[in-house]
Chain A
Amino acid sequence: DTGVSQDPRHKITKRGQNVTFRCDPISEHNRLYWYRQTLGQGPEFLTYFQNEAQLEKSRLLSDRFSAERPKGSFSTLEIQRTEQGDSAMYLCASSTEDRPLYGYTFGSGTRLTVV
């Protein structure tokens, strides 16, 4: 499979617990993005990496959120002390820097439900 993989597909957690999601981008893609999407809304940008460097973080990304891409390959997104408002689909996308006209490839997402 040469697409973007995300794990898990679904996560149900109790409020206050920590969760971690993983994204494996397309192997030759050096850029990796995290987005969040709630029902009826377009994807909201959270953060992005070029190789292992985190180049931009949205103001939406509170201190409870942290993302890493330690070796410039897969990435993790951790949410600490989850709140009900964190319930959303978390989407990962990847692209190559030199192909901005070709858009991004998204993974299937991780649907988080905080109860």
Chain B
Amino acid sequence: RKEVEQDPGPFNVPEGATVAFNCTYSNSASQSFFWYRQDCRKEPKLLMSVYSSGNEDGRFTAQLNRASQYISLLIRDSKLSDSATYLCVVNMRAGNNRKLIWGLGTSLAVNP
């Protein structure tokens, strides 16, 4: 089983739709969680950190369920500019070090 798993998609949605992505992680020692956005041939950019209490930033809502070991990202009122790959990232402690474990990403295409 992969350490971080995402549905690769692609998700094709019309403008204005609500879309949700899920991500599961295997290591219960995981400590912090992120969603990154990556545009084609660009570097990943931090979209949101994910807190246990859930957090919202405008049209984006992230949730964490530690018991079930998954995180989610909800995008409301999708815009054309939301088209990108969304990467789920888990920060684990391994000994005295921390390391980021990346999912393969979920591709989103928002259509006019």
Contacts and interface: CB of A to CB of B under 8 A. Distances in A.
B66 interface: no
Interface string A62-105: 00000000000000000000000000010100000000111111
Interface string B32-53: 1010100001111110010000
For the complex of A and B, 3 pairs with smallest distance between CB atoms: A42-B102, A106-B43, A103-B46
Interface residues of B, number: 22
Interface of B: 31-32, 34, 36, 41-46, 49, 87, 89, 91, 97-100, 102-105
A56 B100 CA distance: 12
B99 A42 contact: no
Contacts of A55: 97
A86 B83 CA distance: 28
Contacts of A41: 104
